[in-house]
Amino acid sequence: MDFRFGVEEEYFLVRRAGGAACLEPPAEFWADLKREAPHASKELLQSQVEAKTTPCRSAEDCRRELTACRSAIDDTARRHGLGLIAAGTHPSMDWRDGKPSKGARYNKLVRDMRMLALRNMFCGLHVHVEIPDSASRVAVMNRLGPYLPLFLTLSVSSPLWRGHWTGMCGYRLTGYDELPRTGLPPYFAEQADYDRYVGALVRAGAMADESYLWWAVRPSLRFPTLELRICDSVTDVNAAVAIAALYRCLVRRLALDQRFGANPSSMLRAIAEENRWQIQCDGLDAVIVDVDTLEPIGARAAVRELAAKLESDARALGCLGELEAIEKILREGTSADRQIALFTEAIERGASEAEATQAVLDWLLRASIGQ
């Protein structure tokens, strides 16, 4: 079993001069994008675009595809005076200015979610990992729950909202939680429980199918995968690939080793929810609860411990180098750390909030395409 994996990244489309959100890209841009970046597509808001890799067997394949996707989108956008930003929130965009994309699914989302659909001004990193037929995706999802906040730790990139520092490293999930069927997934005793849950909601008209479950991890409707959804969009493409590789290693271990990790329970889910909140606030500097010992542990230490436990899986999958890249994130910081530093340094020099936000936008425009 290769445990093939694929990555979906969401980006903000912005004005190349200054980084302001592009609320309504011209039709010519979308036509050019369809031709020149076939793995890119529209998102709920017209100011967003999504890129998808094919199923990958190596981290290097994933990196090559993501880099090519970002470059193709950026090259196409450049000809229209646009660019892209990979971050969980756009630092200055006001949700009241957003314009929904046209299409049956988007129309249904706006109809069902009302105003909240327009407030869904967030971009994420989603990672699919193929699950062997011998393993229950629901059972693996249950056992993944306690570890999900650690992936948020590595990806936080949403400290600013509407031109203000929120005081948080990861505001995206705070806003995203307004939507139904988000957050950490419920605990299901078995696959049949999950199937009954989905069937009940579909019959009641609450959702058309299970693709309208937007939990932090979910069984994919279209693919035989578990899809990680807790992560902010990651500014550095190498960090995005490292996070995807770590998730792939964890899924492999859980699918092959029934003894690995803590037994899922409502208590551990509650602890994971609290860990998630602490990480949203403080990112890598958060103090959380160790899910094995129930003792306090720093988020960095928790990630290091998990990576160490998964070293044999990384070796089997040929991605030991990505664990080294995880250590680089822990050592050098996340996109949120960089954004907060730029913002606060500008304020300390006497800049206004608008000027400090502009410094962040300028950096995001460069860093999202590796400059």
DSSP 229: E
**Sequence-ordered list of residues with C-beta below 8 angstroms from that of 104, at least 6 positions apart, any chain:** none
Query: How many residues comprise the chain?
Result: 371
Pairwise CA distance, residues 9 & 87, whole Å: 10
The angle subtended at Cα 198 by Cα 195 and Cα 200, nearest 5°, is: 105
Distance from first CA to last CA of the chain, Å, rounded? Answer: 37
Pairwise CA distance, residues 62 & 242, whole Å: 10
Exposure class string for 311-338: b at 16+ Cβ within 10 A, else e: eebbeebebbebbebbeebbeebbbbbb
Q: Give the residue from 214, 26, 195, 186 showing the smallest Cα distance to 117.
A: 214
If one counts every other C-beta atom within 10 angstroms of the C-beta of residue 107, the result is 13
Q: Which residue segments constitute the domains of the chain, with CATH numbers given?
A: 5-367 (3.30.590.20)
Provide the whole-model pTM. Answer: 0.95
If one counts every other C-beta atom within 10 angstroms of the C-beta of residue 371, the result is 7
The pLDDT tens digits along the chain (371 residues) read: 789 999 999 999 999 999 999 988 888 999 999 898 888 987 778 889 999 999 999 999 999 999 999 999 999 999 999 999 999 999 998 877 777 767 777 777 777 777 676 777 899 999 999 999 888 999 999 999 999 999 999 999 999 999 999 999 999 999 989 889 999 999 998 899 999 999 999 999 999 999 999 999 999 998 999 999 999 999 999 999 999 999 999 999 999 999 998 888 889 999 999 999 999 999 999 999 999 999 999 999 999 999 999 999 999 999 999 999 999 999 999 999 999 999 999 999 999 999 999 999 999 999 999 86
If one counts every other C-beta atom within 10 angstroms of the C-beta of residue 239, the result is 23
